[in-house]
Amino acid sequence: MRRHRALTFRKVSSRLAAIILAALVCGIPAFCSEINKAIEKGDLEKVKALLKADPELISKKGGGILNSTPLDAAVTSRQMAIAKFLLTQGADIDAVDRGGYTVLGSALWNGNFPMADILRLFEGKAGKADLTPLMTAALSCDSSGVAAALQQGGDVDARDLAGNTALTFAAVNRDDHFSLQCPEVVSALVKAGADPWKSRYYQIPDFEQHKPSKIAVLRVEDIRTDKDEKSKVEEKFAEGIEQALSHSIPRVAKVIAPHYPILTLRETRDKLTAAGFQSSELEHPDRKRACAALGVDAVIEAVVKDYGHGFRLDADVLGTHGEASLEYWLTDCRTGNLLWRSDPGMVGEKRGFLAKALLNGFTLICEQTITIPRFDPKPERKHGKD
């Protein structure tokens, strides 16, 4: 176990060192392409001009230690606006750098989870930019563009090849503390008829007013059609959710993750049993009745389902049937409204993230995907945008 931990830290350290060296080398004109230098400086207009003159630049590697594509350069330099623009232009998220990392792998290793969430939306698209004008405006947090697209009859229910709606693209725009960057766009789309329960990502715009002081883990269910009954997926998954929500174990790496007082799944079931719920009801309890019995502000539910566009888990974690998706809902017990929803994209070995190499794979997986706005009991800490 100690050896695995040493290998994990060594890999992270070497990756960070390579990124720093790449940034230094790219500062020298002879070692870095013009577009990658513009990206490093955050010059979006220069990037647009270069791509207009030569569209092939979007897939060319630009030198430096990592020999990055423009998208990888945007991700490693944390240039969110440029990364979103390149994705809408069809940048290939599957391209790997010299270290064997994809852009999603780079974002995860750097703890840039808001960037990783956006990258996950484009997985499986094979470089095809099939976004509607409404989706593109939502992704760019362009309020006037969203209003214009809606006025022209833009379909709020339209989906791209990966199943994303305009509301998904708007809600995934969040800062490092997971606060919405364009809550007015999210509100406008919901007002226009977009259904939060059908969005792959969603967060209520006025979350601060509804922030739960205590969350009950209500349901953790494995609904795959073909599953290994001996792998105890539900038990391991529930433990990972509880540890990620409550920070009940030391972190392997510094992450900005939720930290909430919780009722564990076992505690929830004990309370429901005492309230008169039958054993047959505990696996899938009625949400409204459960809220009344538990005395909490919100309940979280999660399912492990058949693999689609979602999270990929290795067979070493799940058992003999290794491919699956994860899906989460956080519901306000006080209003019945959806507070947050996440149906994250795939992360597997080819994406630079080895679940099987982690000391507790499920806890790290949940840390990557349960990105509810952070709870912090210290009032002096500010949660502003970067």
The span from the CA of 108 to the CA of 114, in Å, is 10
pTM: 0.79
Average pLDDT for the chain:
78
> Is residue 80 scored above 90 in pLDDT?
yes
Name which residue leads in pLDDT, 349 or 91: 91
> Is residue 309 scored above 90 in pLDDT?
no
Residue with structure tokens 């080895």? 354
- Mean local confidence (pLDDT), 298-313: 72
Residue with structure tokens 């009344």? 292
> Is residue 107 scored above 80 in pLDDT?
yes
pLDDT in tens, 30-63: 446 788 889 989 999 999 999 999 999 888 876 5
Element holding 302 (H helix, E strand)? strand 298-306
Give the pLDDT band (50/70/90) at residue 105: confident
Q: Cα(first)–Cα(last) distance of the chain, in Å?
A: 37
CA of residue 37 relative to chain centroid, distance: 28
- Mean local confidence (pLDDT), 323-337: 88
pLDDT in tens, 139-183: 999 999 999 999 999 999 999 877 889 999 999 999 888 889 999
The span from the CA of 62 to the CA of 39, in Å, is 11
What's the token pair of residue 310? 């979602």
Return the exposure string of 275-298: e unless at least 16 CB atoms fall within 10 Å of the residue's CB, then b: eebeeeebeebebeebbebbebbb
Q: Exposed, middle or buried, 221 (CB in 10 Å: 0-12/13-18/19+)?
A: middle
Name which residue leads in pLDDT, 331 or 102: 331
Name which residue leads in pLDDT, 66 or 354: 66
Name which residue leads in pLDDT, 305 or 221: 221
Name which residue leads in pLDDT, 77 or 339: 339
Domains 2-100 and 208-369 share a fold: no
**pLDDT given for residue 290 in this prediction:** 97
pLDDT in tens, 238-284: 888 888 888 766 554 455 556 789 999 999 999 999 999 999 999 89
For the beta sheet containing 215-222, the strands, ordered from the edge strand earlier in sequence to the opposite edge, are 201-203, 338-342, 324-332, 298-306, 215-222, 262-263
The span from the CA of 97 to the CA of 65, in Å, is 9
Of the ranges 10-24, 124-138, 162-176, 180-194, which one carries the lowest mean pLDDT score? 10-24
Domain ranges of the chain: 2-100, 208-369
> Is residue 386 scored above 60 in pLDDT?
no
Give the pLDDT band (50/70/90) at residue 9: very low
Name which residue leads in pLDDT, 304 or 252: 304
**pLDDT given for residue 281 in this prediction:** 94
**Is CATH 1.25.40.20 the right assignment for the domain spanning 2-100?**
yes
Out of 118-132, 142-156, 292-306, give the one with best mean pLDDT.
Answer: 142-156
Out of 38-47, 227-236, 343-352, 367-376, give the one with best mean pLDDT.
Answer: 38-47
**pLDDT given for residue 307 in this prediction:** 62
**pLDDT given for residue 356 in this prediction:** 35
- pLDDT above 90 covers a percentage of the chain that reads 40
Kind of pairing, strands 201-203 and 215-222? unpaired
Superfamily (CATH H level) for 208-369 = ABC-type transport auxiliary lipoprotein component (3.40.50.10610)
- Mean local confidence (pLDDT), 97-125: 79
- pLDDT above 70 covers a percentage of the chain that reads 71
